[in-house]
């Protein structure tokens, strides 16, 4: 188990401030943040490349705050992989075990085993200059995994590989995690968190602003920043009112949303996930729904299918799948009904 207690570190003008974190064994932890949010710096503190100004780092019951990098058994895979260009793939993977104390046969056997596991056996004799991003990443992973780290730190592992290879890498990372390896994965892309994380932390300006199970973080973001970070684009400034025991949100005195929960602040933001909104030409029959008539302003292809912008007095961004779009093609400037369930609306205190 990794425990960070009150970690602070000043790096030029930037501060990492009061990071408290507990990551239990076997967790796949995704740390989500923009570039410059402090996520890489936090990884470097855990790995021991930098020392915190204050606070403590504990790993498996041992205080490793002052421990040397070499003896932490925390494996770090750098964003650009930091492959040694003066060695072959074999040389890179064998680097940590290649010393006079280890017999050549054993080195060869261990490198062979990890290379096979990562499907790079055919690359072992190659120079590293002409490897693709995906291959370099596997080499970097193999080079770290051969050290049998207690904790694996990944800095933006998907950032420099082709989209077509991402699924393969995700499968590999999931498998490693299932085998019991604790992983901390740093990224700016919430979709990686959705597909991999068993826990998620959102870091901004050197502070962790929300942390927990991905469902909770993405379904109940604590503020607009986290909401934006989890891909939400529909934000409405509203007043929350209770009418005859039922809560409603009133936007700009004209649009009223039905809500499902039992208590709300007096005013704040109502947020809606783009994929929680349905579109149709016919008025939906469900009476409990929030239904609004609007005009399609823009249709753009997206990786899910289509992203539709609808003007219903307020602007709504709606994601629909390619299949749905094929079954009921929409055209720009056509009139449509948009609807969402009361449970889909998420209330946020304040306006930030």
Partner 1 sequence: MNKYGPFNWILLVLSSLVLLFLVAPLLGLFLQTGSSEFFETAKDKEVQQSIWLTIWVAFTATFFFSIAAIPFAWLLARKSFPLKSVVQGIIDLPVVLPHTAAGIALLGFISRDGLLGKAASAAGLSLVNNPAGIALAMAFVSLPFLFNSARDGFEAVPERLEKAALNLGASRSRVFFTISLPLAWRSIITGFVMMFARGMSEFGAVVIIAYHPMIAPVMIYDRFSSFGLSYARPAAVLFIIVALVIFTLLRLLSERRKPVFTKSEYVDS
Number of residues that bind partner 1 (CB under 8 A): 23
Of 76, 202, 279, 320, the residue at the interface with partner 1 (CB under 8 A) is: 76
66 binds partner 1 (CB under 8 A): no
Cβ atoms of 288 and 341 within 8 Å: the answer is: yes
Of 1, 159, 312, 315, the residue at the interface with partner 1 (CB under 8 A) is: 159
82 binds partner 1 (CB under 8 A): yes
DSSP assignments along 27-50, one per residue = -EEEEE--TTSSHHHHHHHHHTSS
Of 96, 198, 205, 280, the residue at the interface with partner 1 (CB under 8 A) is: 96
106 binds partner 1 (CB under 8 A): no
143 binds partner 1 (CB under 8 A): yes
CA distances (Å), origin 346, targets 22, 40, 241, 272: 27, 31, 15, 6
Q: Which CB sits closer to partner 1, 161 or 291?
A: 161
- Tokens describing residue 248: 């409603």
Q: Which CB sits closer to partner 1, 4 or 153?
A: 153
Q: Which CB sits closer to partner 1, 70 or 282?
A: 70
Q: Three-state DSSP class for 97?
A: coil
Of 12, 61, 85, 180, the residue at the interface with partner 1 (CB under 8 A) is: 85
The set of residues, in sequence order, having a beta carbon less than 8 Å from that of 30 and lying 6+ positions away, is: 185, 186, 187, 192, 193, 196, 197, 199, 200, 201, 214
The least distance separating partner 1 from the CB of residue 199, rounded to whole angstroms, comes to: 24
Please report how many Cα atoms fall inside a 13 Å half-sphere around the Cα of residue 39, on the Cβ side: 27
Residues 179 to 208 in contact with partner 1, rule: CB under 8 A: none
Q: Which CB sits closer to partner 1, 80 or 332?
A: 80
281 binds partner 1 (CB under 8 A): no
Rounded to 10 degrees, the C-alpha dihedral 303/200/73/70 comes to 80
Among 66, 91, 78, 212, residue whose Cα is nearest residue 152: 78
- Cα separation, 128 vs 130, whole angstroms: 6
The least distance separating partner 1 from the CB of residue 179, rounded to whole angstroms, comes to: 21
95 binds partner 1 (CB under 8 A): yes
Query: Cα angle at 70 between 197 and 119, to 5 degrees?
Result: 50
70 binds partner 1 (CB under 8 A): yes
The least distance separating partner 1 from the CB of residue 147, rounded to whole angstroms, comes to: 6
290 binds partner 1 (CB under 8 A): no
The least distance separating partner 1 from the CB of residue 76, rounded to whole angstroms, comes to: 5
- Cα separation, 95 vs 246, whole angstroms: 65
Q: Which CB sits closer to partner 1, 69 or 322?
A: 69
Q: Which CB sits closer to partner 1, 133 or 231?
A: 133
Among 337, 346, 333, residue whose Cα is nearest residue 318: 337
Of 147, 195, 205, 324, the residue at the interface with partner 1 (CB under 8 A) is: 147
Cβ atoms of 78 and 155 within 8 Å: the answer is: yes
Can you say whether the dihedral through the CA atoms of 103, 105, 110, 112 is positive or negative? positive
Task: Give the number of other CB atoms < 10 A from CB of residue 246.
Answer: 11
8 binds partner 1 (CB under 8 A): no
User: In this structure, what are the phi and psi dihedrals at residue 109, rounded to the nearest 5 degrees?
Assistant: -65, -45
The least distance separating partner 1 from the CB of residue 73, rounded to whole angstroms, comes to: 8
79 binds partner 1 (CB under 8 A): yes
Q: Which spans of this chain sit near partner 1 (rule: CB under 8 A)?
A: 47-49, 69-71, 74-76, 78-80, 82, 84-86, 95-96, 143-144, 147, 159-160
């Amino acid at each position: 188990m990794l425990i960070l207690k009150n970690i602070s570190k000043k790096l030029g003008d930037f501060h990492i401030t009061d990071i408290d974190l507990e990551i239990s064994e076997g967790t796949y932890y995704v740390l989500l943040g923009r570039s410059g949010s402090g996520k890489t710096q936090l990884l470097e503190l855990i790995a021991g490349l930098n020392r915190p100004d204050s606070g403590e780092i504990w790993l498996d019951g041992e205080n490793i705050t002052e421990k040397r990098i070499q003896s932490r058994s925390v494996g770090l895979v750098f964003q650009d992989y930091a492959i040694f260009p003066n060695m072959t793939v074999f040389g890179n993977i064998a680097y940590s075990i290649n010393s006079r104390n280890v017999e050549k046969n054993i080195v060869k056997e261990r490198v062979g085993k990890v290379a096979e596991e990562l499907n790079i056996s055919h690359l072992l004799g190659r120079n590293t200059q002409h490897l693709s991003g995906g291959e370099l990443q596997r080499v970097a992973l193999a080079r770290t995994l051969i050290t049998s780290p207690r904790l694996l730190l990944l800095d933006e592992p998907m950032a420099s590989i082709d989209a077509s290879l991402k699924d393969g890498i995700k499968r590999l990372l999931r498998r490693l995690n299932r085998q019991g390896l604790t992983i901390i994965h740093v990224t700016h892309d919430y979709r990686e968190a959705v597909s991999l994380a068993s826990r998620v932390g959102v870091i901004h300006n050197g502070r962790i602003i929300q942390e927990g199970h991905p469902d909770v973080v993405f379904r109940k973001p604590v503020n607009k920043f986290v909401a934006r970070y989890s891909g939400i684009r529909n934000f409405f400034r509203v007043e929350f009112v209770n009418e005859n025991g039922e809560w409603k949100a009133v936007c700009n005195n004209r649009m009223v949303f039905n809500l499902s929960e039992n208590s709300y602040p007096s005013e704040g933001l109502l947020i809606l996930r783009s994929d929680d909104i349905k579109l149709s030409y016919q008025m939906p029959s469900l009476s409990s729904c929030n239904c609004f008539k609007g005009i399609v302003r823009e249709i753009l292809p997206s990786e899910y299918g289509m992203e539709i912008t609808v003007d219903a007095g307020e602007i709504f961004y709606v994601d629909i799948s390619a299949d749905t779009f094929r079954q009921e093609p929409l055209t720009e400037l056509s009139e449509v009904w948009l609807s969402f369930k009361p449970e889909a609306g998420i209330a946020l205190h304040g306006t930030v």
